[in-house]
Every structure is written in C-alpha cells, then in structure tokens.
Amino acid sequence: MGPNERRMEIIETLCHRRQDTMANLATEFGVSVRTIKNDIDILSLNHPIETIRGRYGGGVRVMDGYYLHKKYLKPEQVELLQRLSIGLSEDDLKVMNSIFKDFALKS
C-alpha cells in the first residue's frame, strides 16, 4: 500500500470511527507513529481533522458532522449566504437555513 492509498484508508477509518489514537492507527496500518503524524498533517490540509493531546484521551478525530465524499460550503460561501439571507421572506429564509443545515460544517 502506497502513501496515498494509506492516507485515503486513514481518512475513511476516521470518518467511520470518528476518533482514534495515532498508536492504534500505526499498528493497524503497519507503519510508525511518526508516519501517521505526517499523514495526519497532510490530510488536515483538505479535511477537518484535529489532534488531541493527552496520554489516554489523546489522538486524532474528524470534526463532528464531517463525512467523506460529501460536499460542504467553504467559510467564505457561508458568510456570503448569511449576508444575503438578511431581509429574505420567511419561506426563503427556511430554504436558506436548510442549505446551511445540509452543506455547512458545524464549527
């Protein structure tokens, strides 16, 4: 398994489990913890991943509500839509809020 295949497997695993330790991922993928840390650094450029410090509760996790292969609004898109939603009719505002619910990451 090459690095890109491993990284895709890691993000799929994290999206399924939501959180795991780097040591566990290293064992599962047969690489060092340092390699997993490097992979997480690269993955975090395109996915909302955060590392958590701690001897027992530490590890890596994906942001709540994030799932692989789902389209999300970028922060600047959310800001624009929020500005545009001011003054909308009640029905249009309901539609706009449904867009936020379906496509905006919860921060």
User: How many C-beta neighbours within 10 Å does residue 92 have?
Assistant: 12
Q: Which residue has the higher pLDDT, 71 or 12?
A: 12
Cα dihedral 76, 80, 85, 91 in deg (nearest 10): -70
DSSP H helical ranges for the chain = 3-17, 22-29, 33-43, 75-85, 90-103
Query: For the whole model, what pTM was predicted?
Result: 0.66
Average model confidence (pLDDT) for the chain?
88
Domains observed in the chain: 3-62 (1.10.10), 71-107 (no CATH)
The 3-state DSSP class for residue 13 equals: helix
* pLDDT tens digits, one per residue of 16-32: 999 999 999 999 999 99
